[in-house]
Amino acid sequence: MIRLAGVWYSYPGGRGWALRGATLELPERGATVVVGPNGGGKTTLLKVAGLLYRPQRGSVEAWGSNPWSSRGTLLEARRRVVYVHERPIMLRGSVLDNIAYGPRIRGASRGEAEARARRAAELVGVDHLLGASARQLSTGQAQLVALARALAVEPRVLLLDEPLAHLDFDTRRRVLGMLERLSRRIGVVVATHDLHAARRLAGRLVVVEDGSPRIADPASVLSDA
């Protein structure tokens, strides 16, 4: 469970606040969809919840502890939550190397890391790309590989920023089905402009406007979309 309480965040050199008093709970089971206008604070919210940004005001609690209280506490919390950017960076080497990277730096043997990478790649549908150069992938392929890379570390909360933006219709449908099934076991948080995806996934809907998130009724917000 990740809890944000009265969180404010501003970017260095930025004008004003990207988040304003954000209060939100993200459970480790079920799907949460985050919607809102460009520049409204969706990505910042996910990065604060993903423990990548430390808020200037307010507090973040991860599994009952303040992750920013010590380096050890932060590293332990970061093992349980993963944020995936809309345009992820691919590391040098093969797709298999990229997906296995997370388990390797967490202490898994090469054999175990590669086994987990292969399972994640098959789940996402990129197992046919394992031998390809990761930096030669298309944007959509890189999105899928980044998703598999996140799943290989077996997170308890998965934060996805526009995960469907560069995928074709059939791949979007397949990934949505996979995320639905995944959300029965872990927390899946998806920031998206894709209202079809929002309608399909939104067990819970969060609307972010002007840096302030609020829980909304999916039926009322998405019914006319």
pLDDT value of position 33: 93
Q: Convert the pLDDT of each residue in 9-33 to its tens digit.
A: 999 887 789 999 999 999 999 999 9
Asked whether residue 85 is domain-assigned, the answer is no
One domain for residues 172 and 74: yes
pLDDT value of position 64: 92
Asked whether residue 86 is domain-assigned, the answer is no
> Cα separation of 141 and 124, whole Å?
11
pTM of the predicted model, to two decimals?
0.92
Confidence of residue 221 (pLDDT cuts 50, 70, 90): low
Confidence of residue 121 (pLDDT cuts 50, 70, 90): very high
Q: Which residues contact 148 (CB under 8 A, 6 or more apart)?
A: 99, 117, 120, 121, 123, 124, 126
Q: Convert the pLDDT of each residue in 192-202 to its tens digit.
A: 988 878 888 87
Asked whether residue 134 is domain-assigned, the answer is yes
One domain for residues 2 and 74: yes
Q: List 57's β-bridge partners, or say none.
A: 8
pLDDT value of position 83: 96
Residue (of 52, 71, 67) closest to 11 by Cα position: 52
One domain for residues 146 and 167: no
Burial of 107 (0-12, 13-18, 19+ CB in 10 A): exposed
One domain for residues 76 and 1: yes
Region for 16 from its dihedrals, namely left if φ exceeds 0, alpha if ψ lies in -120 to 50, beta otherwise:
left
One domain for residues 165 and 69: yes
In residues, how long is the chain?
Answer: 225
One domain for residues 182 and 144: no
Range of the domain at 122: 91-154
